[in-house]
Amino acid sequence: MAPALILSTLPPELEEFSFQSLDVSFHDYGDDVMGLMCGWPLVFDLPALNTRPPVESLLYILNGLAIAPTSWEKGVEGVVDPPGLSKWLVTIIASPLEWIRNDEVKEVVWEAASTRLAERCGRTAMPSQTRTFQIPLPFSQKSINLSLHEPTLTADNLGLKTWASSYLLSKRLPLLGLPTFSPSAKALELGAGTGLVGLAAAAIFKIPILLTDLPDIVPNLQHNANTNSASGTTVSVSVMDWRDGVDEVVSEGEKYDLVLAADPLYSPEHPRLLVGMVRKWLKKGTHGRAVVEMPLRDGYGSERGDFRSRMERAGLEIKSEGVETGVDDWGAGGEVECWWSVWGWNGDCGVSSIKALGDDVGLD
């Protein structure tokens, strides 16, 4: 027999239904269901479907089996699965649930079982979720919580996921020793994804920030910006395709004191495009900074080398850098090493020499 599960919360799915509308008698189910209705903690075994378990018990157990989104501070959170759980969930999904007379409730049971199974099939199979990330504030014992919605992930839309490098960079921002920002300073995040880095920067540095990404990513990015708006911060969202307007000349007043990017390299062309955006948008002078963090993924060494080379050819130099380790839930999950770097304009590289570099920096 599978080990017992100790559950103590009423499933939210039941809140949408009136128990009286289910046409069942709780007195027929004994003390367990009556205890459930009174909010007492109960102990259940995974019930065999041939025993026709009460729908209340099924939903109660299915709710208790939910896996919470990964916090990345404590690793994967959730219950310890009893043996045979996946087979039990599949059995529920395949069962006609003939003893449940309400078709709407059947759909709720099937949906709950399907969701619990999907949660155990890796990040790409998981339904939409909301993660909460805790970011420490500088010179304070306080922290901020950023709750980010992540839609169902598809292989062609990786910007809908929060990546390990984003979380690591968000926590590292107040430790980077960046120049003091003037009252008129502003920041830009390239490839913002779910917005974690930019939203953290807005809260930490108290300067306006523009979060940018591709058209398919921006609606969810805007949702997260709206959800996490805080007093004293100004966050805007816009579409920015790195292929567009690379040659466009922008004034110094349009440029940004701080440019951020996390996990920005996924193809051989990305170093060229990313450096083109940094060159275009980072304000000249001794105080401009570009901060980039990326995982040390196998097979992407040439892209990282190309990025470093192009940044140096653009007249930028590393002010500080390091390697740190985090966790991720992509694929098999586990630890991920990431390289962070802070870039500023080379002291010998003025505005005129930057312009003279031309297409060699970001476009060829």
Both tokens assigned to 203: 């809260």
Q: How far apart are CA 316 and CA 299, in angstroms?
A: 25
Residue 33 lies in a domain: no
Give the phi and the psi of residue 261 in degrees, each rounded to 5: -155, 135
Q: Do residues 141 and 117 share a domain?
A: no
Q: Do residues 294 and 163 share a domain?
A: yes
Which residues partner with 146 through β-bridges?
133
Q: Do residues 203 and 341 share a domain?
A: yes
Given a cut of 50, whether residue 330 has pLDDT beyond it is: yes
Instruction: Classify residue 17 by its DSSP letter.
Output: S
Q: Do residues 290 and 243 share a domain?
A: yes
| Residue pLDDT, tens place only, 235-289 | 999 999 999 888 888 999 999 999 999 999 989 999 999 999 999 999 999 999 9
**Residues near 324 by Cβ (< 8 Å), separated by ≥ 6?**
168, 172, 337, 338, 340
Q: Do residues 96 and 241 share a domain?
A: no
Residue 76 lies in a domain: yes
Arithmetic mean of pLDDT, 279-308:
95
Q: What is the pLDDT of residue 361?
A: 44
Task: CATH number of the domain at 153, please.
Answer: 3.40.50.150
Both tokens assigned to 249: 């000349």
Task: Among 74, 91, 121, give the residue marking a domain's end.
Answer: 121
Residue 259 lies in a domain: yes
Both tokens assigned to 307: 């990025």
Q: Do residues 113 and 146 share a domain?
A: no
| Residue pLDDT, tens place only, 175-203 | 999 999 998 999 999 999 999 999 999 99
Q: How far apart are CA 135 and CA 140, in angstroms?
A: 11
Both tokens assigned to 231: 């007093």
Which residues partner with 321 through β-bridges?
341
Specify whether the CB–CB gap between 157 and 178 falls below 8 A: no
Total domains present in the chain: 2
Q: Do residues 145 and 109 share a domain?
A: no
Residue 213 lies in a domain: yes
Given a cut of 90, whether residue 163 has pLDDT beyond it is: no
Q: Do residues 73 and 116 share a domain?
A: yes
Both tokens assigned to 12: 């939210």
Residue 244 lies in a domain: yes
Q: What is the pLDDT of residue 162?
A: 86
Determine which helix (DSSP H) or strand (DSSP E) holds 338, and give its type and residue range: strand 334-345
Q: How far apart are CA 69 and CA 78, in angstroms?
A: 8
Claim: this prediction has a pTM higher than 0.85:
no
Q: How far apart are CA 322 and CA 225, in angstroms?
A: 29
Given a cut of 90, whether residue 125 has pLDDT beyond it is: no
Determine which helix (DSSP H) or strand (DSSP E) holds 147, and give its type and residue range: strand 143-150
Q: How far apart are CA 359 and CA 344, in angstroms?
A: 20
Q: How far apart are CA 221 and CA 120, in angstroms?
A: 26
Report the half-sphere exposure of 104 (CA within 13 A, side-chain side): 9
Residue 317 lies in a domain: yes
Residue 107 lies in a domain: yes
Q: What is the pLDDT of residue 66?
A: 76
Cβ count near 66 (within 10 Å): 16
Given a cut of 80, whether residue 295 has pLDDT beyond it is: yes
Instruction: Classify residue 253 by its DSSP letter.
Output: G
| Residue pLDDT, tens place only, 69-101 | 665 664 444 456 777 888 888 899 999 999 999
Distance of CA 267 to the CA centre of its chain: 21
Residue 310 lies in a domain: yes
Q: Do residues 107 and 134 share a domain?
A: no
CA 185 to each of CA 278, 287, 343, 360: distance values in angstroms, whole numbers, following the listed order = 16, 10, 17, 29
Q: What is the pLDDT of residue 334?
A: 74
Both tokens assigned to 297: 């993924």
Given a cut of 70, whether residue 39 has pLDDT beyond it is: no
Provide the pairing of β-strand 187-190 with 209-213: parallel
Domain that holds residue 96: 49-121
Task: Among 89, 121, 153, give the residue marking a domain's end.
Answer: 121
SS3 355: helix
Distance of CA 36 to the CA centre of its chain: 35
Q: Do residues 78 and 135 share a domain?
A: no
Map tokens 């979720």 to a residue: 129
Both tokens assigned to 267: 């193809």
Q: How far apart are CA 305 and CA 36, in angstroms?
A: 60
Specify whether the CB–CB gap between 161 and 133 falls below 8 A: no
Map tokens 């399907």 to a residue: 114
SS3 142: coil
Q: What is the pLDDT of residue 143?
A: 86
Q: Do residues 176 and 244 share a domain?
A: yes
Both tokens assigned to 237: 């969202």
Query: Who has greater pLDDT, 34 or 143?
Result: 143
CA 247 to each of CA 170, 270, 352: distance values in angstroms, whole numbers, following the listed order = 30, 16, 16
Task: Among 74, 95, 121, give the residue marking a domain's end.
Answer: 121
Q: Do residues 53 and 135 share a domain?
A: no
Cβ count near 16 (within 10 Å): 9
